[in-house]
Structure 1
Amino acid sequence: MDSEPQPLPTPPSAVEAGEMDRSTGRPAHTPRAARRGDRLGRPGALPPAPGRPIFAVLPTTLALLLGVVSWQVAVDGPLLGIDPAVRDAVRHLRRSLHSALLNHLGVALADLGGGVPAVPVLLGCAGLATWLARRGGRPRWWTPVPVAAVAAALIPLLVVPAKAWFARPGPFGVPLAPGQWGWYPSGHTATSAIAYGTAALLLARVLPAWRARQVGWVTAAVCLGVGAGLVWSDFHWLLDVVASWCLSGLLLLALHRMLPRLLPETDA
């Protein structure tokens, strides 16, 4: 007589199948089915997904660079040798080109970092962002205007005391007059970066993604142009500009993190 059919073996579970490594025969350290996400209730892998570390690395880098440059300015350190080298190279290039158009362009770009037009542009963009947010039914549509006002007020509060404390002479090497502010950090650079950067971040919350990217690229080009114009026209040392970019970048990164809560898309 034929023997009774034997039951088919039960296939191993996903965890049991992953307990032995196929290449070594040893138990796997992290079976895929047993891995937990980086937060409870969220699938994912450890360490966190790529892209998040930039919010830790970039602020740290900006703060470190700002601290090093400020320390060198305070102690008249060797790093400041970069500034006269760049100044002399720019002067040599300016004389060799002998272009009135480039010289006027440099001054015009530097002037974009003045309180006028930077602050009016900031307030105008805040008003536009407020109108778009209200039209889109945002719960806190009124937020952009006070954010812009705070950003505009922070510029002199941060820059003027630093200028008075460091009291750094400008690229022409003329000693400061009594009561005169110094050149470090660059006020025009900080004004342009904070004002135009804040305006771009506010608009990015209410514009389509492709339009927000365009605004961001234009803003970055304008801010770089202001710094280049200041150095080209002998209005500032290079490190004055770099320090203001670092300071402004820290403020803008903080605002970027806060804006989703200040101007949410929907009610929480």
Structure 2
Amino acid sequence: MDASVLREAAAERSVRPVAQFLSDLGDLPVALPVLACALGWAAWRLGRWREAVVYAVAMACAAPIVVLLKALVARPAPGTARLVAHSGYFPSGHAMTAAAAYGLAALALMPSPERVTARRALGASAVPLNVAVGAGLVWRGYHWPLDVAASWCLAGALLAAAYRVSRSWGSPGSAPRATGPASAG
């Protein structure tokens, strides 16, 4: 399936400039400043210092995860025209960078739970952006579709873990959450 999707995407030469722009949104120099601004705003203006630290650490974990998996899988680049010195294309680092950075930015800026519509809108805004980055990577022939999909799955796990850790720390000044049977009574 990867090969047929890649062939169809590569045949669409008219979308190359747009695809290049979209794939560039997964570059570190683009995604990291967006995340840094979101984390800075969350820490400074929203008082969410702990969450900002957790999300920054989560982003720092993204690259080592991808590098390790690339080394373990050693999947070759799509297409025979790409002669490269390495064969680490699974998972996609650009897709992981985009999904992690934009997803963590959305989590950092998430409104209070009472503002359900705003929360859904912010959370949903990261999805089409990441789909666009993934499509750009495939259209340009930089990655197989499975490389991109694997990165989204990894980023989803990273986001879920970061969210859980940030919530377990609680907000500043709040009492620790009681859990377990002793808290029931």
Q: TM-score, normalised by structure 2?
A: 0.84
Name 1:108's counterpart in structure 2: 21
What do residues 66-102 of structure 1 show as CA deviations (whole Å, max 9, x unaligned)? xxxxxxxxxxxxxxxx11111112223x05xxx2xx2
Name 2:118's counterpart in structure 1: 211
**From 120, 130, 133, the counterpart of 2:46:** 133
Q: TM-score, normalised by structure 1?
A: 0.59
Percent identity of equivalent pairs: 40
Amino acid aligned to 2:25: L
Alpha-carbon offset, residue 205 of structure 1: 5.0
Name 2:96's counterpart in structure 1: 190
> Matches of 1:248 and 1:222 in 2, distance apart?
14
| Shift in alpha-carbon separation, 1:91–1:225, aligned structure 2, 3 A | same
Question: What are the ranges of 5 or more consecutive residues in structure 1 without an aligned counterpart?
Answer: 1-81, 135-140
Equivalent residue of 1:267, what SS? coil
Aligned length: 173
Alpha-carbon offset, residue 176 of structure 1: 4.5
> Matches of 2:58 and 2:64 in 1, distance apart?
10
Equivalent residue of 2:165, what SS? helix
- The answer as to 2:87 corresponding to 1:87 is no
Counterpart contact for 1:83–1:237, Cα < 8 Å:
yes
What do residues 142-199 of structure 1 show as CA deviations (whole Å, max 9, x unaligned)? 213312321221121101121122221111234542xx35111100000011111111
Alpha-carbon offset, residue 108 of structure 1: 0.6
Structure with higher Rg: it is 1
Name 1:236's counterpart in structure 2: 143
RMSD: 2.0
Please identify which structure carries the higher helix content: 2
Name 2:70's counterpart in structure 1: 163
Comparing both chains, which one has the higher relative contact order based on Cα–Cα distances under 8 Å and sequence gaps of 6 or more?
Answer: 2
